Amino acid sequence: MTQEEFSRRFKCSPINRTKRRRLPRNVAVALGNWGSPKAVPALTVALNDDDPLVRGHAAWALGRIGIAGALDALRTRLAVEEGEWATSEIMSSLGS
């Protein structure tokens, strides 16, 4: 969802104050704190978000969950990640 689509969808909602990039970041943090393997598919999608802020938080969350599928997603993303901070979060989550 682009920022424009987000703004249109949540125009009359308090969620609009959050802005598009903060919502998936906050969800990634919540899912990481939850720690359930059920969150891995959604976090894997977020790991490929256009925004490095979202990718970095998704990496952190996947590292917290720590199951094989989460770690595989992190390794796959590490091979193509270009953002310095997101790369650092991925490596930290992998224990590198």
pTM confidence score = 0.88
Query: How far is Cα 3 from Cα 87, in angstroms, rounded to an integer?
Result: 24
Query: How far is Cα 60 from Cα 35, in angstroms, rounded to an integer?
Result: 11
SS3 state of residue 52: helix
Percent residues over pLDDT 70 in the chain: 99
- Residue 67 carries which side chain, given as an amino acid letter? I
In this predicted model, what pLDDT tens digit does every residue of 65-81 receive, in sequence order? 999 999 999 999 999 99
**Predicted pLDDT at 46:** 97
